[in-house]
């Protein structure tokens, strides 16, 4: 096919015809002539998620308190069931994973459990580009131990304001570092860090290391157990499509199982001892020990349906389509918008790229507003970033083609100038 034809509408249709995952779009609630490119912030609702949520509501209606052990989806074991279903997505054993809490609560739990300052090792290593919530939690944990964040939180600097040098991260693993917490994928640029390499280097130095998987789980496969990662946490409402503000999850490597949780709670208990009501905790022998409170059942329920889709599609197949979609989007942007002032700021190499395309433009905020006016749903990140995430489950190549054509129209006609170049309250 001629090069020019590779950017045609007909070529997008050809790619869709050959897509082995195209059937899954029908599983989601999408709107006609709307192009949803913000699944890296909040995934769309699937019909399966709706079904399993309604099933838990019905269990409540039909069984009342007996829903904890009866009904179609007994609540008492729902966190463990979801942990087992999630484990294949991150390369973990079922006993290493539990679905619980929220991402920030789980950061607090895992740092409280694994950060044990002593001797020279009194510092936590993070980075300056990570999501703010992670830093808020780390500073809080340091202060709870009577340590100054200004002195004991080390943040690796970025050379370009968008990406991190893995070599500089390793260089910062000095003998005063007790624990490292890093994102798997940078939330702005979409850079994917080399988790096995960083884990190996941390362990060579006797340092505990964990990862925030918020922007990678469900978008790409991981091998956390094999890599020896000590712990990880994530949210489920982005690529895992479990609903706004839904329950989070965490991983603890099996060599740490049996460790007492830093923050104990009733659901930290062994399941068969929990209702003994003893005031001395008998922690679960699995990652369940790192639960704190009662499962948020109606938040967990949609994930049961969503994970069914991952089992059917396969995370490796989803990753391959994701890479093709983002590559196609980048190629189209370079071809159609080369003179419009956009910079593609995500890594272009497949091995270093997460699930979204990151564009920089000095008019980014108003361009995002203009896109929404045209039924393209993007994501803005201050000061000048547009994130576009074509999701393998429910984004077609035609959707990507039309998104770029709409962006081109907005730029050529300068319709974005009608908007203020300032973010909304929720960006």
Domains annotated for the chain, with CATH where assigned, are 3-30+314-418 (3.90.1150.10), 50-312 (3.40.640.10)
Report whether 230 contacts 114 (CB < 8 A): yes
Alpha carbon distance 226, 208 (integer Å): 16
Q: Is the pLDDT of residue 1 over 80?
A: no
Query: Would you call 181 helix, strand, or coil by DSSP?
Result: strand
**Is residue 103 within 8 Å of residue 214, measured between CB atoms?**
yes
DSSP letter, residue 146: T
Q: What average pLDDT does the segment 85-98 reach? A: 98
Q: Token pair of 111, please?
A: 């740092």
DSSP state of 289: G
Task: Calculate the CA 206 to chain-centre distance.
Answer: 27
Could you read off the pLDDT of 12-66 as tens digits, one per residue?
A: 999 999 999 999 999 999 999 999 999 999 999 999 999 999 999 999 999 999 9
Whether the per-residue pLDDT at 377 is higher than 60: the answer is yes
**By C-alpha distance, which of 133, 160, 131 is closest to 347?**
160
**What whole-number distance in Å separates Cα of residue 271 and Cα of residue 345?**
48
Q: Binning pLDDT at 50, 70 and 90, where does residue 422 land?
A: confident
Please give the Cα distance from 96 to 257 (Å, whole number).
8
What's the mean pLDDT in 223-234? 98
Cα separation of 25 and 399, whole Å?
11
The confidence score (pLDDT) of residue 2 equals: 59
Q: Which of 133-147, 357-371, 413-427 has the lowest mean pLDDT?
A: 413-427
Please report the pLDDT score of residue 423 as a whole number.
82
Beta strands 35-36 and 376-377: pairing type? Answer: parallel
Give percent of the chain with pLDDT exceeding 90: 97
Nearest to 113 by CA among 247, 222, 250: 250
- Tens digits of residue pLDDT in 147-169: 999 999 999 999 999 999 999 99
Q: Determine if the peptide bond prior to 383 is cis (ω within 30°).
A: yes
Give dist(CA 286, CA 100) in Å, integer: 13
pLDDT bucket at 424, cuts 50 / 70 / 90: confident
Q: In angstroms, rounded to a whole number, what is the distance separating the alpha carbons of residues 369 and 426? A: 12
CB 236 within 8 A of CB 216: no
Q: Where are the alpha helices (DSSP H) in 356-396?
A: 364-373
Contact predicate 280/260, CB 8 Å? no
Kindly give, in sequence order, each residue whose CB lies less than 8 Å from that of residue 276, ignoring residues fewer than 6 positions away.
none
pLDDT confidence of residue 11: 97
CB 337, CB 403: distance < 8 Å:
no
Distance of CA 52 to the CA centre of its chain: 22
Among 406, 398, 305, smallest CA distance to 19 is for 398
Is residue 398 classed as helix, strand or coil in its secondary structure? helix
The pTM score is 0.96
By the 8 A CB rule, do 158 and 130 touch? no
| Dihedral sign computed on CA atoms, order 199, 214, 405, 1 | positive
Q: What is the largest CA-CA distance in the chain?
A: 73
- d(CA 415, CA 427) in angstroms, rounded, equals 20
Q: What is the mean pLDDT of the chain?
A: 97
The pLDDT-based confidence of 3 (bands split at 50, 70, 90) is low
Q: What is the bridge-based pairing of β-strands 379-381 and 385-388?
A: antiparallel
Pairing of strands 123-127, 153-156: parallel
Q: What is the pLDDT of residue 90?
A: 98
Phi/psi at 328 (5° precision): -60, -45
Q: Is 243 exposed, middle or buried (0-12, 13-18, 19+ CB in 10 A)?
A: buried
Binding residues: 103-104, 131-134, 212, 215, 237, 266, 294
Q: Which residues are annotated as a binding site for pyridoxal 5'-phosphate?
A: 103-104, 131-134, 212, 215, 237, 266, 294
């Amino acid at each position: 096919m001629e090069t020019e034809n590779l950017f045609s509408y007909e070529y997008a249709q050809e790619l869709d015809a050959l897509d082995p995952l195209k059937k899954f779009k029908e599983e989601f609630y999408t709107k006609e002539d709307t192009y949803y490119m913000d699944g890296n912030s909040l995934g769309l609702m699937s019909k399966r998620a709706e079904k399993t949520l309604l099933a838990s509501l019905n269990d409540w209606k039909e069984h009342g308190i007996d829903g904890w052990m009866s009904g179609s989806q007994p609540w008492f074991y729902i966190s463990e069931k979801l942990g087992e279903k999630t484990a294949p997505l991150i390369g973990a054993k079922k006993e290493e994973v539990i679905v619980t809490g929220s991402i920030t609560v789980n950061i607090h739990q895992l740092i409280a459990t694994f950060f044990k300052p002593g001797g020279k090792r009194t510092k936590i290593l993070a980075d300056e580009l990570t999501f703010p919530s992670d830093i808020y939690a780390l500073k809080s944990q340091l202060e709870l131990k009577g340590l100054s964040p200004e002195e004991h939180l080390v943040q690796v600097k970025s050379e370009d304001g968008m990406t991190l040098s893995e070599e500089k991260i390793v260089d910062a693993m000095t003998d005063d570092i007790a624990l490292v917490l890093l994102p798997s994928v940078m939330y702005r640029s979409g850079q994917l860090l080399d988790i096995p390499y960083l884990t190996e280097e941390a362990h060579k130095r006797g340092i505990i290391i964990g990862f925030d998987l918020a922007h990678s789980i469900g978008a790409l496969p991981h091998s956390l157990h094999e890599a020896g990662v000590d712990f990880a946490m994530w949210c489920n409402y982005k690529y895992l499509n479990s609903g706004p503000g839904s329950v989070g999850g965490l991983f603890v490597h099996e060599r740490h199982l049996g460790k007492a949780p830093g923050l104990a709670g009733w659901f930290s208990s062994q399941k068969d001892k929990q209702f003994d009501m003893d005031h001395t905790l008998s922690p679960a022998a699995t990652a369940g020990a790192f639960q704190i409170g009662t499962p948020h059942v109606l938040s967990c329920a949609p994930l049961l349906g969503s994970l069914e889709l991952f089992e059917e599609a396969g995370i490796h197949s989803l990753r391959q389509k994701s890479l093709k979609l983002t590559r196609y989007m980048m190629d189209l942007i370079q071809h159609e918008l080369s003179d419009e002032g956009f910079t593609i700021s995500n890594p272009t190499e497949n091995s270093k790229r997460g699930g979204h395309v990151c564009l920089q433009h000095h008019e980014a905020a108003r361009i995002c507003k203009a896109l929404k006016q045209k039924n393209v749903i993007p994501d803005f990140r201050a000061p000048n970033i547009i994130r576009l995430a074509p999701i393998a489950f429910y984004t077609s190549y035609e959707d990507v083609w039309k998104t770029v054509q709409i962006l081109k129209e907005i730029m050529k006609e300068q319709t974005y100038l009608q908007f203020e170049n300032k973010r909304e309250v929720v960006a």
